[in-house]
């Protein structure tokens, strides 16, 4: 099993372990994308814009958007060092969101990454969107360009540290979406 497979499995099991799974008829899909040491969540752009209308000029309304959460300096860096990584996990640091809109299907756009489809119902999907929206600072302060695609980094809520990483953030999103279908 690859390192990214282990990561995604850990995230999914963590999400399921922290909440009693309610029964549902899954009709919606969100995606978890593993980029090796980092993970993000993909939802439909129109749904995120309904939750956060102020994002519409930035991301449009068609296709999908991937959102990842991470430590401010390390996540935005084009080149990283061991020192940056240690600082990111050993200190409590500011966080950012990377928001990348795209038109293609998630599997095609992230063809080189591992993707897990998470099926849920409208209530679970809406709850996951609420977690994503609550992760943005209220003023939607845009920072630099995303590491790939046509996206941006934004200031985020919460501090990044060893016990609160992108994976625990993804698990919190999945906790809200969790349900079991037939």
Sketch the domain layout of the chain as residue ranges.
3-180
pTM: 0.81
- The torsion region of residue 42 among left (phi > 0), alpha (psi -120 to 50) and beta comes to beta
Per-residue pLDDT for 5 more than 50? no
Helix residue ranges, H only, the chain = 3-17, 45-51, 56-59, 72-76, 82-90, 106-109, 122-134, 166-177
- The half-sphere exposure of 87 on its side-chain side, counting CA atoms within 13 A, is 13
Residue 156's pLDDT band (boundaries 50, 70, 90)? very high
Q: Identify the pLDDT of residue 58.
A: 86
Dump pLDDT digits (tens) for 71-105: 887 777 778 677 666 666 667 778 899 999 999 99
């Amino acid at each position: 099993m690859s390192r990214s497979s282990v990561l995604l499995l850990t995230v999914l099991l963590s999400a399921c372990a922290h909440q009693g799974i309610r029964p549902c008829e899954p009709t919606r899909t969100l995606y978890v994308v593993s980029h090796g040491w980092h993970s993000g969540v993909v939802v439909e752009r129109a749904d995120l814009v309904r939750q956060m209308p102020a994002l519409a000029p930035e991301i449009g309304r068609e296709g999908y958007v991937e959102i990842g959460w991470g430590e401010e300096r390390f996540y935005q860096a084009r080149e990283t060092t061991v020192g940056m990584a240690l600082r990111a996990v050993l200190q409590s640091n500011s966080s950012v969101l990377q928001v990348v809109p795209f038109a293609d299907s998630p599997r095609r756009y992230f063809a080189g990454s591992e993707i897990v489809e998470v099926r849920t119902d409208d209530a679970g999907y809406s709850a996951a969107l609420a977690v994503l929206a609550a992760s943005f600072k209220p003023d939607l302060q845009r920072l630099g360009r995303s590491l790939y695609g046509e996206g941006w980094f934004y200031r985020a809520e919460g501090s990044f540290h060893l016990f609160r990483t992108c994976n625990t953030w993804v698990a919190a999103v999945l906790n809200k979406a969790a349900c079991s279908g037939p």
